[in-house]
């Protein structure tokens, strides 16, 4: 630990943490929307990220398409894949005890990881695009992370618009708020679940495209993303989308700043430490209102 | 609406026994009984949240016993559930908008909204507040307003007076009376027997999931058992 912290370093770590946090927060929003609507914990959430990453990887390798452009592919593909997964699998367990859906999505996660391993081998894959950094005075912010943050903000704004300005978005909030009352006003909960699962997976796989700008991935990277989303969802309050965004930012900033004090190998533990603290002090999450 | 000999279970426990009742158009029918008699269970069954194991429920001469609750709502049967069931994290106005989810109601949402606001002006003043922040009486008006947004043919209310101050109760009952005068068909569940009988056309009394008595308000009021056990006369 440096004896005097240079202000620029702290500012840089703060901004980087904020940017990563936005991306992880948006990813966790996908998980929490699904949980809020159908009380299903999607253990395969991170594996859908990796599916998006592989799509972007192959789009780059085979057709030279930049991962940013392949968002146009992974967003609709993710929505469709999510809708089909809901129709074929999730729908069958959504009214069963929660353990059933946990087993099912765990199975989906294992299946996705296994299939990717089988077809693409355990090799780490990366897209070699060098984007450089932007310098602001003494701050240096990598362009790829800035793109990640910009995408996250765009998704958050789009979700905000959907949930608060469109009738169907309000119907999704109604189901999250009080499922029985939503049914009693005539909302078809299966229709809302279908759309929500589609949205959740579209978020996951499109984040996968962005991830290809940031790091290398392998078929078994999925659970890392599930875990971090899960921590954030608990931080922000289960089933609370804006809470997930706040939770993501808190986690990103704290993790980033903690690198000043603790060994990088410890960083993943930071998330769990914050989660435990929040669970003790505010079991309903940072933004949760109901006990 | 007609209900013919329904049995309803929670798991293994039979809660409604061979229950039959009838609600004519533009009628206000009171469904009475003490705590645990099966009133809520009856409404939950009529709205499709529970399925009868036996018997049939007909609405507009079609059987609805096999339909899902959201389909039944779409047919024009609207429920104000026990405890109001508001969307507490949504605004007053959003709650009302959601009430008009059924296709035939959504087209006329703006117009119906004005009607509901003129019935309960306080809801207009509070339209941008979260439903969870309203007082008990305002919440009950919102719950009724939301049910009306679906342009229902039949509205069922589960103990709308519960937990409200007497002056607020009489406001709610006045609103129901006004709806009835506008030819709305109403099923009113109440433990407040006296209040309900004042505005009802007919009533049914449930005891332990069985029909104990039916008749017009005078007949029910003058029944020896009702006088003794329910009205304390
Ligand atoms: N979810 C439930 N599971 C099992 N039993 C229930 C449930 N809800 C109500 N009951 C039982 O069913 C009976 C009728 O309850 P209810 O319809 O709520 O009565 P009321 O609305 O007239 O007070 C009661 O004996 C109650 O204990
Ligand atoms: Mg009841």
Partners of residue A182 in chain B, C-beta under 8 Å: 87, 98
d(CA B233, CA A164) in angstroms, rounded, equals 54
Q: Whose CA is nearest to atom 20 of ligand 1?
A: B36
Distance from the A32 Cα atom to the nearest Cα atom in chain B, whole angstroms? 16
- Please, are residues A161 and A154 in contact by the beta-carbon 8 Å criterion? no
User: Which residues contact ligand 1 via a Cβ below 6 A?
Assistant: B 10, 13, 15, 33, 35-41
Question: Ligand 2 center to residue B10 CA distance, Å?
Answer: 14
pLDDT at A289: 63
Residue with tokens 């409200």: B164
- Please, are residues A196 and A40 in contact by the beta-carbon 8 Å criterion? no
pLDDT at A8: 84
pLDDT at A290: 52
- Count of C-beta atoms within a 10 Å radius of residue B208: 13
8 Å CB contact of B49 and A180: yes
d(CA A245, CA A248) in angstroms, rounded, equals 5
CA A119 to chain centre: 25
- Count of C-beta atoms within a 10 Å radius of residue B93: 18
Q: Is the pLDDT of residue B167 over 50?
A: yes
Sheet holding B77-80, edge to edge: B77-80, B154-158, B185-190, B28-32, B202-207, B210-215
- Residues with Cβ within 8 Å of B59's Cβ and at least 6 positions away in sequence, in order, are B1, B72, B75, B77, B154
Please name the residue of chain A whose CA is at the shortest distance from the CA of residue B95: A174
pLDDT at A1: 47
- Please, are residues B210 and B18 in contact by the beta-carbon 8 Å criterion? yes
Percent over 90 (pLDDT), chain B: 92
The secondary element (H helix, E strand) that includes residue B142 is helix B136-148
Partners of residue A180 in chain B, C-beta under 8 Å: 49, 81, 85
Distance from the B67 Cα atom to the nearest Cα atom in chain A, whole angstroms? 12
d(CA B28, CA B46) in angstroms, rounded, equals 16
- Count of C-beta atoms within a 10 Å radius of residue B116: 23
Reported as a single tens digit per residue, the pLDDT across B107-154 is: 999 999 999 999 999 999 999 999 999 999 999 999 999 999 999 999
Q: CA torsion, points A232, A237, A243, A248, in degrees to nearest 10?
A: -10
Q: Whose CA is nearest to atom 16 of ligand 1?
A: B38
- Best residue for ligand 1 mutational test, from B12, B31, B32, B36 (most atoms within 8 Å of Cβ): B36
- Best residue for ligand 1 mutational test, from B15, B50, B208 (most atoms within 8 Å of Cβ): B15
pLDDT at A137: 83
d(CA B19, CA B6) in angstroms, rounded, equals 5
8 Å CB contact of B90 and A185: no
Most B-contacting residue of A164, A182, A186 (CB-CB within 10 A), to test interface? A186
- Please, are residues A82 and A238 in contact by the beta-carbon 8 Å criterion? no
Give the residue ranges of DSSP H helices in chain A: 7-38, 45-63, 71-85, 91-93, 98-120, 143-165, 167-177, 179-184, 189-214, 222-236, 241-258, 267-281
Sheet holding B54-59, edge to edge: B13-22, B2-10, B54-59, B62-63
Partners of residue A185 in chain B, C-beta under 8 Å: 73, 78, 98-99, 101-102, 146, 149-150
Distance from the A180 Cα atom to the nearest Cα atom in chain B, whole angstroms? 8
Most A-contacting residue of B91, B93, B98, B143 (CB-CB within 10 A), to test interface? B98
d(CA A194, CA A87) in angstroms, rounded, equals 7
Question: Ligand 2 center to residue A287 CA distance, Å?
Answer: 33
- Please, are residues B33 and B191 in contact by the beta-carbon 8 Å criterion? yes
- Residues with Cβ within 8 Å of B126's Cβ and at least 6 positions away in sequence, in order, are B92, B134, B138
Q: What pLDDT tens digit does each residue of chain A (291 aa) get?
A: 455 568 888 999 999 999 999 999 999 999 999 999 999 999 999 999 999 999 999 999 999 999 999 999 999 999 999 999 999 999 999 888 889 999 999 999 999 999 999 999 999 999 988 889 998 888 889 999 999 999 999 999 999 999 999 999 999 999 999 999 999 999 999 999 999 999 999 999 999 999 999 999 999 999 999 999 999 999 988 888 999 999 999 999 999 999 888 888 888 788 888 888 888 888 888 777 653
Of A176, A177, A186, the CB nearest to B101: A186
Q: Is the pLDDT of residue B214 over 50?
A: yes
pLDDT at A196: 97
Reported as a single tens digit per residue, the pLDDT across B177-212 is: 999 999 999 999 999 898 999 999 999 999 999 999
Q: Whose CA is nearest to atom 18 of ligand 1?
A: B40
- Pairing relation of β-strands A133-136 and A139-142? antiparallel
Question: Ligand 2 center to residue B197 CA distance, Å?
Answer: 18
Distance from the A36 Cα atom to the nearest Cα atom in chain B, whole angstroms? 13
Question: Ligand 1 center to residue A191 CA distance, Å?
Answer: 30
Residue with tokens 């699962």: A197
pLDDT tier at B75, thresholds 50, 70, 90: very high
Percent over 70 (pLDDT), chain B: 100
Reported as a single tens digit per residue, the pLDDT across B25-47 is: 999 999 999 999 999 999 999 99
Which value does ipTM take for this structure?
Answer: 0.95
Q: Strand, coil or helix: what is B180?
A: helix
pLDDT tier at B228, thresholds 50, 70, 90: confident
Q: Mean pLDDT for chain B?
A: 95
């Amino acid at each position: 630990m440096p004896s005097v912290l240079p202000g620029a370093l702290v500012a840089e770590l703060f901004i980087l943490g904020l940017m990563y946090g936005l991306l992880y927060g948006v990813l966790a929003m996908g998980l929490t929307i699904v949980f809020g609507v159908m009380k299903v914990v999607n253990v395969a959430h991170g594996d859908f990220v990796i599916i998006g990453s592989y799509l972007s990887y192959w789009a780059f390798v085979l057709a030279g398409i930049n991962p940013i452009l392949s968002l146009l592919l992974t967003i609709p593909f993710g929505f469709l894949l999510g809708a089909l997964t809901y129709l074929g699998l999730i729908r069958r367990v959504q009214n069963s005890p929660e353990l059933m859906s946990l087993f099912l999505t765990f199975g989906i996660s294992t299946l996705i990881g296994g299939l990717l391993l089988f077809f693409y081998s355990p090799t780490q894959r990366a897209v070699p695009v060098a984007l450089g950094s932007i310098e602001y005075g003494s701050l240096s912010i990598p362009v790829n992370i800035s793109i990640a943050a910009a995408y996250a903000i765009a998704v958050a704004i789009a979700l905000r618009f959907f949930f608060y300005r469109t009738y169907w978005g309000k119907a999704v909030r109604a189901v999250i708020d009080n499922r029985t009352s939503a049914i009693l006003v005539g909302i078809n909960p299966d229709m809302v679940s279908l759309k929500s699962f589609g949205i959740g997976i579209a978020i996951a796989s499109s984040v996968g495209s962005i991830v290809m700008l940031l790091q290398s991935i392998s078929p078994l990277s999925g659970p890392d993303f599930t875990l971090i989303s899960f921590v954030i969802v608990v931080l922000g309050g289960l089933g609370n989308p804006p809470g997930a965004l706040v939770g993501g930012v808190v986690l990103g900033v704290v993790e980033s700043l903690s690198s000043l004090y603790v060994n990088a190998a410890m960083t993943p533990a930071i998330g769990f430490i914050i989660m435990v603290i929040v669970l003790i002090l505010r079991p309903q999450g940072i933004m949760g209102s109901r006990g | 609406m007609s209900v013919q000999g329904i049995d309803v279970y929670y798991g293994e426990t039979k809660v409604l026994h061979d229950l039959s009742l009838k609600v004519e158009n533009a009628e206000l029918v009171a469904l009475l009984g003490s705590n645990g008699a099966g009133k809520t269970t009856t409404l939950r069954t009529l709205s499709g949240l529970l399925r009868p194991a036996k018997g049939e429920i007909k609405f507009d001469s079609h059987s609805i016993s096999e339909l899902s609750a959201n389909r039944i709502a779409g047919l024009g049967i609207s429920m104000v559930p026990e405890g109001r069931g508001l969307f507490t994290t949504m605004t007053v106005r959003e709650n009302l908008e959601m009430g008009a989810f059924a296709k035939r109601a959504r087209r006329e949402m703006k117009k119906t909204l004005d009607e509901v606001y003129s019935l309960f002006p306080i809801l207009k003043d509070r339209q941008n507040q979260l439903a969870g922040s309203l007082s008990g009486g305002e919440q009950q008006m919102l719950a009724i307003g939301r049910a009306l947004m679906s342009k229902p043919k039949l509205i069922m209310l589960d103990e709308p007076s519960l937990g409200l101050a007497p002056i607020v109760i009489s406001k709610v009952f006045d609103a129901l009376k006004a709806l009835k005068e506008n030819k709305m068909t109403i099923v009113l569940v109440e433990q407040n027997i006296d209040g309900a009988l004042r505005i009802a056309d007919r009533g049914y009394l449930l005891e332990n999931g069985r029909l104990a008595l039916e008749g017009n308000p005078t007949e029910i009021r003058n029944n020896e058992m009702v006088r003794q056990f329910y009205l304390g006369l």
